[in-house]
A and B are shown apart, each in its own frame.
Chain A
Amino acid sequence: MVERKIGDKNLRLVREDITEMEVDAFVFDITEDVKLGSGFGAAIQQRGGIVIQKELDEIGGCPTGEAVVTEAGILKADWIIHANGPKFREEDEEGKLRKTVQSALARAEEKGVKRLAFPPMGTGLYQVPLDLCSRVMVKTISDHLAEGGTLEEVLIAAPDNREFDPFKAQIQEGA
């Protein structure tokens, strides 16, 4: 098991499909127009129902670095935190990624979430470099857990070795 203990809280790396996880909430890397689209977005729509997109349509948008919350339809999670991370090598990738992760954590705390799952934010189609992503995400989440709050466990869901290995290295480095 790959994990880092932070006081009585936990940061853990898993290989699960994030849209099927039994957590209180999971994070989805959404675009500014809050359209679920393909990839995990398609899985959310097909497994969770179209009500999620309807709730997003009412919210209307989400600027880069921010996060919004919807219910999760008939998925196992209660909430989906839609966080708009940096995309396609835009400027200040690191700062924007940190702010996005902080926003997602803040929305989770507001909902009283205890178990939250993140995907590696933007490391696929959106071209965020894996070394930068793993370093920033692990540091930002660890710092947040050290400050207290309702969150007890944060999981990073990385099914592929390509993503699992750099996150594992980051988590074990500070464990």
Chain B
Amino acid sequence: MANQAKTHKIKMMEEQLAKKLNRQVVGSLVGCVHCGMCDESCHYVLAFPDDHKMTPSYKADQVRKLFKANHDWTGSVFPWWVGADKVPLSDDDLETLKDIAFGTCTNCRRCTLSCPMGVDTATLNRIMRGLLSHVGVMPEGVRVVSKDQWEIGNQMGVLKEDYIDTIEWMSEELEEDLGHAEATIPMEKKGAKIMYCINPREVKYDPRTIKEAALIFWAAGEDWTMPDEGWDNTNFGLFSGDDGLGGACAKREYEKARELGVDKIVISECGHGFRSTRFEGVNWAGESEPVPMESSVMTMLNYVREGKIKVDPTKNPEKMTFHDSCNNARSGGFFEEPRELLNLVAMDFQEMYPNRAEGFCCTGGGGAMSMSEYTPRRLESAKIKADQIRATGAKVVVTSCHNCVDGLNDLIKHYKLDCEVKQLVNLVANALVLDEVEKPVEEVAVPEEITVKPVAEAEPLAGRKILVVDDEEDVRTFLITVFEDAGAEVISAADGNEAIAMAREHLPDLISLDLSMPGKDGVETFVELRSTAETEEIPVCVVTGHPEFRQVIYDRPVPPPEGYLGKPVDEDKLVAYASHILEHRNEKAN
């Protein structure tokens, strides 16, 4: 009876489900006895204790019902008992399922550890996401990111020329910082030992981590390279449940590594990237003899262990704690190595509790920030993590995952914690003792101290007109002062309407834009600037401390901003970003 009323989409989902059934999945589908032991392991349940729809078993039951109705004898004999008479029938039902699968679970797999039956609820939730994505039912941000990764080759839609430009920028900075002509970032070097793959967030919004990794490779005398394609270690197929995308992304990395003839792929600090490249991607891509792969945490730790680099932990004296990425730790068994490295490069490490496999999710979820519509619920569920961090009294939360960096930054701001987030690459680079480095590969003269840029660049923004937009007077004053000190002519606006009017009238070279403003907010202002003929070409650097920034990145109503800086703003970083954006714009125009 139910079959007669099913929509085409639901029939397609059922057809797809049949292809996903293997021993592990069926075990989880039939194993649940609804005992409730997993409930309190879930951060959503802890944040919404009276809402039964937040329980892991309820979420998994959404797939289970489809399975019981189509593949299990219990669905034929006792449909009312196993929920087989309550399968989705209409496309409206799919919208409800979308909210459950994408909006009430971060697939952190913490509930799995609590299950006496070994049910892997996150696997089932990922299958539901995959079934929905298969018929086009997904949050807009997931659609945008997936399409970018399918077609551009990375999940932030970074064009090849922009990637190369950013790597060259970091390479030039490294060379200038060290004053050594060989301290550069190799690109497409055939036969190198290591191919270094990164998270596109590093290219787009945090390129300093690339330079820091390059500094460490250089100090260790490593023979390494970055690829010009296949460089994205992330894989949105892991998040969206699209195994086809998962295989395509992973294969790009593996094939590039074989083309370059490297010994191994080193994956920068990204939990989602590590799990998908190192483990899951091998299966999705059908690799029989995968290229050796390791996390950059292992690479850095081995450099210290083997004496290839020297580190001074006193350079990182703050009290620090460590957040385990769910993908690295719970799903990857990567517990002790990051702690060993952290203890080698920092003075004061304080464990947070619970930790390792039992640590709570930061709510980044390996891609959850792409769904701005679920941000309030996500942040509410982050309370347990915020409490964990607060209890340590740490000033720095260290993590080995870019999604966790964003997730932790969001919750730190939301819960007003007095700390910042760093990755191990930041700490190792900061702790490096360059003048004591032994060079196993070649002898190179290392300067005793990193040199400072010459005075010629004291006014790098001379001749530029910059529009500063921020509703907070003290922030506005700070930004104006920094830009003026760098030689720029600065005009300012305190709200969106004023910003648009001033942009049209003055046609600045760059706009520094806050997103959280009363009245017309920064997102609306940004979209209007991008959609208006006179202002569409003006580069924009977003300066914000709030997660609504994700909306312009992931929902992408218009081309994304050229730069992003989180508040509080670092003065040097602000000027460096502004200079780079303007130089890059000039190069493109020419």
A-to-B contact residues, CB < 8 Å: 17, 37-43, 45-47, 50, 87-91, 124-127, 160-162
Given A37-B147, A38-B145, A125-B147, check contact A46 B159 (CB 8 Å). yes
Q: Is the interface of A mostly helix, strand, loop or mixed?
A: loop
A89→B530 CA distance, assembly (Å): 34
Q: Would A89 and B148 count as touching, CB distance under 8 A?
A: no
Q: Judge whether A45 and B559 touch: CB under 8 Å.
A: yes
**Interface mask (B120-143 → A, CB under 8 Å = 1, otherwise 0):** 000000000000001110000001
For chain B, the bracket of interface size reads 20 to 34
Which residue of chain B is the closest to A46 with respect to CB atoms?
B559
B8: which A residues are within 8 A, CB to CB? 89-91
Residues of B within 8 A of A41 (CB): 147
Contact check, B147 vs A160: say whether CB atoms are below 8 A apart: no
CB neighbours of B160 from chain A (8 A): 17
Please report which residues of chain B, range 224-254, place their CB below 8 angstroms from some CB of chain A when the two chains form the complex: 244-245, 247-248, 251-252
Closest 10 CB pairs of A and B: A88-B136, A124-B150, A39-B151, A39-B147, A38-B144, A89-B12, A38-B147, A42-B157, A125-B147, A38-B148
> In the complex, what's the smallest C-beta–C-beta distance from A173 to chain B, in angstroms?
23
A34 to B536, CA, bound (A): 19
| B529 → A minimal CB distance (Å) | 11
* Complex interface bits, B1-37 against A, C-beta within 8 A gives 1, otherwise 0: 0000000110010000000000000000000000000
Query: Does the CB pair B157–A38 fall under 8 Å?
Result: yes
User: How far does the alpha carbon of A162 sit from the alpha carbon of B146 in the complex, in Å?
Assistant: 17
CB of B556 within 8 A of CB of A37, answer: yes
Chain B residues within an 8 Å CB radius of A17 = 160
Q: In the assembled complex, which residues on chain B have CB atoms less than 8 Å from the CB atom of A42?
A: 148, 152, 157, 556, 559-560
Q: Are A39 and B152 in contact (CB under 8 A)?
A: yes
Distance from A94 Cβ to chain B, minimum over Cβ atoms (Å): 15
Minimal beta-carbon separation of A128 from chain B (angstroms): 11
Question: In the bound complex, do residue A160 and residue B152 qualify as a contact, i.e. CB atoms below 8 Å apart?
Answer: no
Q: Does B255 contact A (CB under 8 A)?
A: yes
- Is the pair B255, A87 in contact by a Cβ cutoff of 8 Å? no
- B148 adjacent to A160 (CB under 8 Å): no
Chain B 150-187, CB within 8 Å of chain A: the 1/0 string?
11100001011000000000000000000000000000
Query: Which interface residue of B160, B244, B245, B560 has the most chain A CB atoms within 10 A?
Result: B244
CB B511 to nearest CB in A, in angstroms, measures: 16
Residues of B within 8 A of A125 (CB): 143, 146-147, 150-151, 245
A162 to B247, CA, bound (A): 9
B554 to A, closest residue via Cβ: A38
Please, which residues of chain A bring their CB within 8 A of the CB of B251?
Answer: 160-162
CB <8 Å contact, B150 and A47? no
CB pair B248–A160 under 8 Å, yes or no, is yes
CA distance A38 to B142 in the complex (A): 11
Would you give 8 A-B contacts (Cβ < 8 Å), ordered by A?
A39-B148, A39-B150, A39-B157, A42-B152, A45-B559, A50-B530, A88-B135, A124-B150
Known: A39-B148, A87-B136, A162-B248. 14 other contacts (CB 8 A): A38-B144, A40-B152, A41-B147, A42-B560, A43-B159, A89-B8, A125-B143, A125-B147, A125-B150, A127-B244, A160-B252, A161-B251, A162-B247, A162-B251
A109 to B524, CA, bound (A): 41
Residues of the A chain whose Cβ atoms lie less than 8 Å from the Cβ of B144: 37-38
CA distance A41 to B136 in the complex (A): 18
CA separation between A46 and B152, bound complex, in Å?
A: 12
- B21 smallest CB distance to A (angstroms): 19
The answer to whether B255 touches A161 (Cβ under 8 A) is yes
A47 to B556, CA, bound (A): 16
Pick the contact of B556: A38, A43, A88, A127 (CB < 8 A). Answer: A38
Chain B residues positioned under 8 Å from A90 (CB to CB) = 8
Asked if A124 and B147 make an inter-chain contact with CB atoms under 8 angstroms apart, the answer reads yes
Could you tell me the distance in whole angstroms from the C-beta of A88 to the nearest C-beta in chain B? 3
B150 surroundings in chain A (CB, below 8 A): 39, 124-125
Provide the residues of chain B in CB contact with A38, threshold 8 Å: 143-145, 147-148, 151-152, 157, 556
Which A residue sits closest to B255, measured CB to CB?
A: A161
Which of chain B's residues has its CB closest to A91's CB? B8
Residue of A nearest to B132 (CB): A88
Alpha-carbon separation in the docked complex, A69 to B559 (Å): 21
User: How far apart sit A39 and B150, CA to CA, in the bound complex (Å)?
Assistant: 7
Contacts of B9 in A (CB 8 A): 88-89
- A125–B151 alpha-carbon span in the complex (Å): 9
A111, B558: Cα distance in complex, Å: 29
B321 → A minimal CB distance (Å): 36
Expressed in whole angstroms, the minimum distance between the Cβ of A40 and any Cβ of chain B is 5
Closest residue to B252 on the A side, CB-wise? A160
CB pair B134 A89 closer than 8 Å: yes
Neighbouring B residues of A161 by C-beta, 8 Å? 251, 255
Which of chain A's residues have a CB closer than 8 A to the CB of B134? 88-89, 127
Cα distance A87–B143 in the bound complex, in angstroms: 12
Question: How many angstroms between the C-alpha atoms of A43 and B149 in the bound complex?
Answer: 12
Contacts of A124 in B (CB 8 A): 147, 150-151, 245, 248
Chain B residues in 8 Å Cβ range of A39: 147-148, 150-152, 157
Output the residue of B150, B151, B556 with the most chain A CB within 10 A: B151
What is the chain B residue whose CB lies nearest that of A42?
B157
**With the chains together, A42 CA to B145 CA distance in Å?**
11
Collect the chain B residues with CB atoms within 8 Å of residue A87's CB: 136
The listed residue with most A CB atoms (<10 A of its CB), out of B146, B152, B530, is B152
User: Looking at A40, A42, A89, A127, which has the most chain B CB atoms within 10 Å of its CB?
Assistant: A42
Looking at the assembled complex, report how far the CB atom of B332 sits from the nearest CB atom of chain A, in whole angstroms: 26
Q: Tell which of A88, A125, A126 has the most Cβ of chain B within 10 Å.
A: A125
List the B side residues contacting A50 at CB < 8 Å.
Answer: 530-531, 536-537, 558-559
A124 to B144, CA, bound (A): 12
Q: A169 to B252, alpha carbons, bound, how many Å? A: 21
The distance in angstroms between the C-alpha atoms of A17 and B136, with both chains bound, is 25
Complex interface: chain A residues within 8 A of B255 (CB): 161
The distance from the CB of B527 to the nearest CB of chain A, in whole angstroms, is 12
The answer for the CA separation of A42 and B153 in the assembled complex, in Å, is 12
* Chain B residues closer than 8 Å to A47, beta-carbon distance: 159
Residue of B nearest to A47 (CB): B159
CA–CA, A125 to B159, complex, Å? Answer: 18
B residues 514-555 touching A (CB-CB < 8 Å): 530-531, 536-537
**Chain A hits for B248, CB < 8 A:** 124, 160, 162
Give the distance in Å from the alpha carbon of A43 to the alpha carbon of B163 in the complex: 13
Min CB gap B255→A, angstroms: 7
Q: Give Cα distance in the complex from A42 to B146, angstroms.
A: 13
Q: How far is the CB of A95 from chain B (nearest CB, A)?
A: 14
Bound-state CA distance A124–B134 (Å) is: 11
Closest chain B CB from A148 CB (angstroms): 33
Least CB distance from B154 to A in Å reads 11
Complex-state Cα separation, A131 to B335, whole angstroms: 43
State A47–B324 Cα separation when bound (angstroms). 39
Could you say which residues of chain B place their CB within 8 Å of the CB of A46?
Answer: 159, 559
Q: Which residue of A lies closest to B144 (CB)?
A: A38
